[in-house]
Structure 1
């Protein structure tokens, strides 16, 4: 279908799908905040599980579509590149919140746990790449391990909300997750979730359009899959995370902002599982290039810096943001520059 379109129409479809992702992302942040209040789940859990998975749906479709078309590099780099981009978005949100360092004010043990879980998940595909090629029905065991880790982590995340064993030290800059009483009493959670699911489905369609457009751009302009996946589709499909994070920060829903990014990143790692199932020529992890592996290392490094920032909870740093935000932006900026230079 997209093969018959001219390049201007391909770019037009790409831009239109990106706009749909951007608009829906704006609306989903406020809705997720109200769902957190009306259901009693709290911002960190809603951000880490519901919002994180929902805003990642378009990226999921991109990776799965690419894998089904036999494009292992695009499928892999889209998911992993999105992790780096979204972590950088959190650093950008820190520049918007002027009262204190965002990681200090949004202190929540759930987000610390989710960041550690993400670090663990990122080690799994790296191990798969470095070990001998193996697969069962063209699926590598690492893909199944990722799902197990994610589900166990999701269970512990929800349980941690009810039975926390650690608590962050309160300061005058700490912003607590306090439900809006008017939202809790007047809004129907079932209706909110139904609207949220409808938005997710539209994001999925937009993701398919982005995937098809990206494949044509890669082929016709003779660009590397790592470049297109990590810097084009990954950034575009990560726009909901950028918009929802900035919107959540402006609403004062800081735990939702941080949890949405970390939870979305954890869900993005599962792109690899879906892609491995969709890629029918053997193990996805042994069909990628060094450029794709590069973004896996970048994502791991940025996640480690974020986790350190959540633990240290520096109140203020250069430009009234934390040093971890400076480091995350530096790592991402350097990685983008290197990828653009190397092609």
Structure 2
């Protein structure tokens, strides 16, 4: 077995581990939701999103410290946001009852809106970082003095505010639903509902497997990309982002299989919030200067693409379209696919 075949074997093995553990995460996350009374949206946003985003966190910190590859770190974080939104399109395709935008809880708009705001700050930071050389040196000196860029504390505070705000919104929704005294139908998973202790234990074990395989996966993907001689912006924003998003894909499809649609959507939108916060964490670990001033300007295209795709998702959640284009996906999802393809084309042409 040569080196390339061995790397592919590692990649497939990691993906298989993540897929099997992802099903357990969704199953027991759903059990925790039903045992505690917390909404599936909140479980997806807080628990599942954090676990499935650990590969991006590990990749980002390693890229800016050991590898000194800031393009890989920023490309992975922003690229994962775009990939997660593309997974929403896959959910729309596989959910054949009706378009997911018509069925999904409108409360997801709140998490999506915070995502747009945080991505907007990243885009501003990227544009400021790509100014004239003299201004860039001044900002780098300022960043070296403080240890991070100006947008970093803003992103971290916004993430905490977003989680608190969504939690309060979901808690109020649960309270109002309980007051209506109309029992909700039980989701049929094919297995008896486990106890809370059992569900938490199994969820923790599955999370450890996903985290371990997910942290290993980016290194395998990076080795494979280097063998293929792809540029770092393209690798970070597309290939490594696809690899580190495998946990989100596994968890989402498993949740969809169980009928936990809101948990699936909450996991993806929550993962995007965490991914943007990872850029702030990466900046704090990046010692040469301001992270967003040291990367390729092409990442601004990825940030803008993520903002556009999130905006389309918000339109779908509010407007709730019913029809499908060619009986496949809704027009909202079609627009998101078009934006993803445009972003991929630009990265392939102009990535560094």
Q: Return the TM-score normalized by structure 2.
A: 0.85
* Structure 2 residue corresponding to 1:37, chosen from 34, 37, 40: 34
1:226–1:181 distance in 2 versus 1, CA, 3 Å: closer
CA distance in 1, matches of 2:55, 2:210: 5
Q: Please state if 1:66 is matched with 2:63.
A: yes
* Structure 1 residue corresponding to 2:90, chosen from 89, 92, 108: 92
SS at match of 2:12: helix
Q: CA-to-partner distance for each residue in 1:265-308, whole Å, 9 max, x for gaps?
A: 11111120221122221111111102322211111111111111
1:336–1:23 distance in 2 versus 1, CA, 3 Å: farther
Q: Please state if 1:259 is matched with 2:272.
A: no
| Deviation for aligned residue 1:182 | 10
| Deviation for aligned residue 1:342 | 4.3
- Maintained 8 Å contact 2:111/2:162: yes
CA distance in 2, matches of 1:144, 1:194: 34
CA distance in 1, matches of 2:287, 2:14: 27
Q: CA-to-partner distance for each residue in 1:305-326, whole Å, 9 max, x for gaps?
A: 1111111111223125321111
* Structure 1 residue corresponding to 2:337, chosen from 316, 329, 333: 329
Instruction: Judge which range, 95-104 or 123-132, deviates more.
Output: 123-132
1:122–1:57 distance in 2 versus 1, CA, 3 Å: same
Q: CA-to-partner distance for each residue in 1:38-70, whole Å, 9 max, x for gaps?
A: 111111111111111111112221122112221
SS at match of 1:161: helix
Q: Please state if 1:158 is matched with 2:156.
A: no
- Maintained 8 Å contact 1:14/1:209: no
Q: Please state if 1:121 is matched with 2:129.
A: no
Q: CA-to-partner distance for each residue in 1:122-162, whole Å, 9 max, x for gaps?
A: 01111222336242443123122111111111111111122
SS at match of 2:298: helix
- Map 1:1-343 to 2 at 5 A: 6-69=3-66, 70-109=68-107, 111-131=108-128, 133=139, 134-135=142-143, 136-164=145-173, 187-318=194-325, 319=327, 321-342=329-350
SS at match of 1:163: helix
CA distance in 2, matches of 1:78, 1:235: 9
Q: Return the TM-score normalized by structure 1.
A: 0.87
Paired residues, number? 329
1:278–1:332 distance in 2 versus 1, CA, 3 Å: same
| Deviation for aligned residue 1:261 | 1.0
Q: CA-to-partner distance for each residue in 1:66-89, whole Å, 9 max, x for gaps?
A: 122211000111011011011011
What's the C-alpha RMSD, in Å, of the aligned pairs? 2.7
SS at match of 2:289: coil
SS at match of 2:38: coil
